[in-house]
Amino acid sequence: GLIGAHLSQDPALAPLVAARPGLRAPGAWDGFELAVRAILGQQITVTAARGLAAKLVEAYGGRIDDPFAATLGLTRAFPTPAEIVGQDIAALGMPKARGAALEALARTVAADPAIFTPRADLESAIAALKALPGVGEWTAQYIALRELREPDAFPQADIGLLRGMADEAGARPTPAELLDRAEAWRPWRAYAAQHLWAADA
């Protein structure tokens, strides 16, 4: 399609697009859960982030009393902002600053549940997201890509994207270099990111 043709103009992306034609960026069920998981995943492995999320759900998530869900191993829902407000999340085994950021995020979202609705443009969306506790540039771009469905969102400092653009010798670009390279991918940088992540996996 049009997006694939545009991205295929870059020799590094062309084989990735050919291998997965029509690849799209997946959305998210819930902006708050996505934001919490993104903050939990900052500067730790995916496995460690999943472990922390499981602890968070076990500690604060509401019980699901559904026999069919139980057969799938689902016994608790992801906590709502109200269930996290006032909790000492750091006690689950993370840095105090990160736990405090998650609790503050919960308070902010509880006060304004529409915080994760699309904005007029990517720049205003990123600015609004970066105003949230614990949300920096990478996290804001990731939330914009997944929850707000911004087709040009691009978390340029993501390790998977940097690995995906490594040269033949394995040298990775810097985030600034990747951002410069990605200018040619506008307005579809989120799709380029998805191709790079898929290839890195």
Name the residues annotated as catalytic: 158
Q: Which residues make Cβ contacts (< 8 Å) with residue 100, sequence separation at least 6? A: 89, 90, 133
Q: Which residues make Cβ contacts (< 8 Å) with residue 3, sequence separation at least 6? A: 188, 191
Report the 3 state secondary structure along the chain.
CHHHHHHCCCCCCHHHHHHCCCCCCCCCCCHHHHHHHHHHCCCCCHHHHHHHHHHHHHHHCCECCCHHHHHCCCCECCCCHHHHCCCCHHHHCCCHHHHHHHHHHHHHHHHCHHHHCCCCCHHHHHHHHHCCCCCCHHHHHHHHHHCCCCCCCCCCCCHHHHHHCCCCCCCCCCHHHHHHHHHHHCCCHHHHHHHHHHHHC
Q: Which two tokens stand for residue 126?
A: 């990123």
